[in-house]
Amino acid sequence: MRALRSVLTLGLICITLCLAFEPRAEEGSNDDTVNPVPVFRDDILHELGIFADAVTLIDANYVRKVSPKELISSALDGMVSSLDSHSEFLSYEQHMKLQADSMGEFGGLGIKVAIRDKVLTVISPLEATPAQKSGILPGDRIIKINDKTTEGFGLDDAVDLLRGRPGTLVKLTIVRGPERDIKEFTLKRAIIKVQSVRYSLIAGEDIGYIRIADFQRHTPSDLNKAMRYFIKNRIKALILDLRGNPGGLMEASIMVCERFIKKPGVIVSTKGRFEGQNAVFRSRASRVYEGFPVAVIINEGSASASEIVAAALRDNKRAVIVGSKSFGKGSVQTVMPLKDNSAVRLTTSYYYTPSGRIIHEKGILPDIITPREEAVLGTDNEEEAKDVLTPEQVLLRDADILESINLLNDRGRYESLLLGYPLETGGSG
């Protein structure tokens, strides 16, 4: 027992010394300034000593034998997850799975989820996936997966249960809305493939319509293809639909913004604890799509990269936003491997709009707010309607799109909203 405590204490001291001599400790370079590092080091040593005592007591007295690895992993899990809802400890298996998932397809339901107020919450169901077809909505709180409570779940715990072999069934129990209605869904897993960009020409209005479902590596080139089609058809305005878009690659969202914002316009800023985490991302484009008004549609399922695009186009006076308030997922997570190939995923910075507003947990408020209950297709059976209506006619039954068309056809109102939104700070890093 003494040997275990000695090993723990020695290891923790080594970690503490490494922390104490990180380069950032040199911030107080003035000789007259009190250096906070010794106090910080003493505090850490004191707290780590208490931690070592607790591990020793558990090892000696707990009702069953628990391995040191299990104890430390559990401690790391609790410590990191207590920081915020997006930070977490990844075991070796979870870290390897994360790397594998980023390389290819997977069987799942097509749900983008987050932990909000300690509850597993749907950001958005992806388009044309089992989740969307079954009626899962943004904001639904998943309280059980296959009758197993999600209380205390991390994101990886949820993903492990939601994903699986295509064709297998998953039962979800959700709580919906302020009335806290409980609903159950049984969904069949499928290979998730999302078409990033869908587009159409709205009949009779000469208004182009582009729907971006998420931001993938090929999204900017798909957008270019759509825009060439619209320019050939001489559109007079454009609707960019980002509803239900949970985000994706930040680089792709920046490149989409560059299609509409000339250099050196600010697209987004990141701010963290240290200077190296601060950055300002500006447009590098000298030629952009211009000469026509743009309306961007968002809702509570629009998050992360889609919030970056909406805010950047509005702050640079290139678009007016229609719809409902976005999700508010504006933080950057960095995966940092540990020596045993486990890892910690830590929130390292926050996104800020070009006007200096924070996105995280605030969201983007549209210029024109359409009540959520009205912003749906005007039919009781959407699938039946699609069998008898053209794609353009289906779009024209949507309240958000109708509001956008009315706005784009009223140039005076559009210009008033566009120019009335202040660009306060020009973005700072």
Q: Which two tokens stand for residue 55?
A: 């591990």
Q: Which of 137, 166, 191 is the last residue of a domain?
A: 191
The mean pLDDT of the chain is 83
**pLDDT of 9 over the 70 cut:** no
Residues 296 and 421: beta-carbon distance below 8 Å: no
Residues 138 and 272 in one domain: no
Residues 317 and 262 in one domain: yes
Q: Which residue has the higher pLDDT, 178 or 172?
A: 172
The per-residue pLDDT for range 272-314, each reduced to its tens digit, is: 999 888 999 999 999 999 999 999 999 999 999 999 999 999 9
In the structure, what pLDDT confidence band is assigned to residue 40 with cuts at 50, 70 and 90? very low
The per-residue pLDDT for 124 is: 84
Range of the domain at 350: 197-420
Residues 246 and 290 in one domain: yes
The per-residue pLDDT for 387 is: 53
The per-residue pLDDT for 182 is: 95
Q: Which of 170, 191, 212 is the last residue of a domain?
A: 191
Q: Is residue 174 part of a domain?
A: yes
Residues 282 and 368 in one domain: yes
Residues 332 and 350: beta-carbon distance below 8 Å: yes
CB < 8 Å & 24+ apart, contacts of 228-232: 229/199, 229/201, 230/199, 230/201, 231/289
Q: Helix, strand, or coil here: 337?
A: strand
Q: DSSP strand E in 301-342: where?
A: 320-323, 331-337
Beta strands at 294-298 and 237-241: parallel, antiparallel or unpaired: parallel
Vertex 114, ends 108 and 117: CA angle to 5°?
A: 145
Residues 171 and 233 in one domain: no
- Of 221, 215, 220, 146, nearest to 187 by C-alpha is 146
Q: Cα 169 to chain center, whole Å?
A: 26
The per-residue pLDDT for 2 is: 52
Q: Is residue 91 part of a domain?
A: no
Q: Is residue 345 part of a domain?
A: yes
Residue 322: phi, psi to the nearest 5? -125, 150
The per-residue pLDDT for 24 is: 35
What CATH number does the domain containing 153 carry?
A: 2.30.42.10
Average pLDDT, stretch 185-203?
A: 87
Residue 377: partners with Cβ closer than 8 Å, 6 or more residues away:
385, 394, 397, 398
Q: Helix, strand, or coil here: 15?
A: helix
Residues 169 and 210 in one domain: no
Residues 164 and 209 in one domain: no
Helices (H), 243-303: 250-258
Residue 141: strand pairing partners: 121, 175
The per-residue pLDDT for 159 is: 83
Residues 286 and 138 in one domain: no
- Of 299, 306, 347, nearest to 323 by C-alpha is 299
Cα 60 to Cα 6, 7, 47, 78: the distances in Å are 14, 15, 20, 22
Rounded (to 5) percent helix, strand, coil in the chain:
35, 25, 40
In the structure, what pLDDT confidence band is assigned to residue 156 with cuts at 50, 70 and 90? confident
Count CA atoms within 13 Å of residue 159 on its CB side: 14
Average pLDDT, stretch 66-86?
A: 91
Q: Is residue 254 part of a domain?
A: yes
Residue bearing tokens 């702050």: 315
Q: Helix, strand, or coil here: 408?
A: helix
Residues 165 and 243 in one domain: no
Q: Which of 139, 174, 191 is the last residue of a domain?
A: 191
**pLDDT of 29 over the 90 cut:** no
Active site residues: 304, 315, 329
Residue 23: phi, psi to the nearest 5? -55, -30
The per-residue pLDDT for range 221-280, each reduced to its tens digit, is: 999 999 999 999 999 999 999 999 999 889 999 999 999 999 999 999 999 999 888 999
- Helix (DSSP H) and strand (DSSP E) numbers for the chain: 13, 19
- Tally the domains of the chain: 3
Residue bearing tokens 């890892």: 343
Q: Which residue has the higher pLDDT, 218 or 31?
A: 218
**pLDDT of 422 over the 90 cut:** no
Q: Is residue 117 part of a domain?
A: yes
The per-residue pLDDT for 17 is: 41
What CATH number does the domain containing 347 carry?
A: 3.90.226.10
Residues 279 and 342 in one domain: yes
Residues 15 and 153 in one domain: no
**pLDDT of 357 over the 50 cut:** yes
